[in-house]
């Protein structure tokens, strides 16, 4: 009889080490190809969400204008003559009253929060001066509001700070009253601090101290004038020194009113190029410590690649590039410089 055939050798179950390494290598390649695309899609979504938020703030400002016949002031300041926008105060914040962001609340579906403020009471211009503020204002100025947070800025999300600031104007970066070629209010469009020529409260845009700007005042054209700018420059961290270490900003802040150190803490201006602050270490990264107060009122910028969102006085939102001509950028910050802006970039 024929002998039975021998059974074929059985293949072991599972992968060999070489097969497993090949699969892992393929997965790594696929992840390497897909991750940048996922990150790009996520940032694109964040930029779109950010643009929608600044659009809503611009619409709220227009609703306020419709109801009141003008835009809210950048900051109401007591004890100044009518039409005066250059404070000469001995204290940084005691005369600070309602800031733009609080005045806007009823027109941004935030009336319950607005009703908790005391408009005629003192407001803090940053966290340092909260003890000087009216008690009700003090408690409510630090309420986090998501409408002011860009999702690309992790340090601002969930905080009392804002990534969206109104534009006070624009112009040259310094003004020295001792220089005969620098004349404040003429070729220096703002209120210069006594101690430094680069601390300036610009006042040739839509929002500034005790401003009463109407759309009809914007003779440069509402489509050629900044209304709200994106910003990553509010102070976000405590200073390392044991005293005078609290300078962090708030969405409900305003301006430092001391005659020696005048600067905006929750208002900006078109002075430095987009995303290019006058800072020795260069622009902020998302994880950098943010301590420099002077940047807030001079620079717009974001953590979006290549530029930032800007709302214009006609209610439109456009992405303004880092490469925007500086003279055009400064002109877009003003409401009636009489020069042709040539349209937004």
Give the pLDDT mean for 211-231. 96
Cα–Cα distances (Å) from 144 to 140, 147, 161, 237, in that order, read 9, 9, 7, 16
209 phi/psi in degrees, rounded to 5: -65, 125
pLDDT of residue 178: 65
Hey, where are the domains in the chain? 44-332
Cα–Cα distances (Å) from 217 to 92, 164, 205, 211, in that order, read 30, 23, 10, 11
Parallel/antiparallel/unpaired status of strands 164-170 and 268-270 = parallel
Q: Give how far the C-alpha of residue 124 lies from the chain's centroid of Cα atoms, to the nearest Å.
A: 18
Q: Is the pLDDT of residue 80 over 70?
A: yes
Average of per-residue pLDDT values in the chain: 89
pLDDT of residue 344: 41
Kindly report which listed range (61-65, 88-92, 223-227, 301-305) carries the lowest average pLDDT score: 88-92
The tens digit of pLDDT for each residue in 105-114 reads 999 999 999 9
Query: How confident is residue 343, by pLDDT bands cut at 50, 70 and 90?
Result: very low
268 phi/psi in degrees, rounded to 5: -125, 180
The tens digit of pLDDT for each residue in 14-52 reads 668 787 788 888 888 877 777 666 566 677 899 999 999
The tens digit of pLDDT for each residue in 114-162 reads 999 999 999 999 999 999 999 999 999 999 999 999 999 999 999 999 9
Beta strands in 127-185 (DSSP E): 164-170
Burial per residue of 27-48, b for 16 or more beta-carbon CB atoms within 10 angstroms, e otherwise: eeeeeeeeeeeeeeeeeeebbe
Which among 336, 301, 320, 345 has a CA at the least distance from the CA of 170? 336
Beta strands in 117-184 (DSSP E): 164-170
């Amino acid at each position: 009889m024929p002998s039975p055939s021998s059974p074929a050798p059985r293949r072991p179950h599972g992968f060999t080490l070489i097969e497993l390494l090949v699969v892992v290598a393929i997965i790594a390649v696929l992840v390497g190809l897909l991750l940048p695309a996922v990150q790009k899609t996520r940032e694109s979504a964040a930029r779109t969400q950010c643009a929608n938020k600044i659009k809503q703030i611009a619409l709220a400002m227009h609703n306020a204008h419709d109801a009141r016949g003008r835009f809210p002031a950048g900051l109401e300041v007591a004890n100044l003559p009518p039409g005066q926008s250059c404070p000469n105060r001995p204290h940084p914040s005691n005369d600070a009253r309602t800031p733009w962001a609080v005045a806007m609340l009823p027109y941004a579906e935030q009336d319950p929060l607005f009703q908790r403020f005391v408009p005629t009471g003192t407001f803090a211009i940053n966290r340092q001066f909260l003890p000087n503020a009216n008690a009700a204002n003090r408690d409510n100025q630090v309420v986090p509001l998501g409408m002011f947070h860009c999702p690309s800025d992790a340090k601002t999300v969930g905080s009392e700070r804002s990534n969206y600031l109104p534009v006070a104007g624009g112009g040259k970066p310094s003004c020295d009253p001792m220089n005969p070629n620098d004349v404040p209010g003429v070729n220096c469009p703002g209120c210069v601090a006594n101690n430094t020529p680069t601390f300036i409260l610009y006042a040739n845009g839509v929002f500034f101290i005790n401003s009463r700007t109407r759309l009809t005042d914007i003779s440069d054209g509402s489509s050629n004038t900044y209304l709200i700018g994106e910003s990553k420059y509010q102070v976000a961290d405590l200073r390392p020194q044991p005293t005078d270490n609290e300078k962090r900003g708030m969405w409900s802040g305003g301006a430092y009113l001391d005659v020696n150190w005048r600067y905006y803490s929750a208002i900006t201006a078109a002075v430095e190029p987009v995303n290019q602050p006058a800072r020795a270490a260069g622009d902020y990264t998302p994880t950098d410590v943010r301590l420099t107060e002077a940047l807030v009122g001079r620079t717009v910028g974001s953590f979006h690649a290549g530029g930032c969102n800007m709302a214009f006085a006609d209610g439109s939102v456009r992405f303004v590039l880092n490469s925007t001509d500086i003279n055009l950028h400064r002109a877009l910050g003003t409401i009636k410089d009489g020069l042709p802006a040539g349209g937004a970039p």
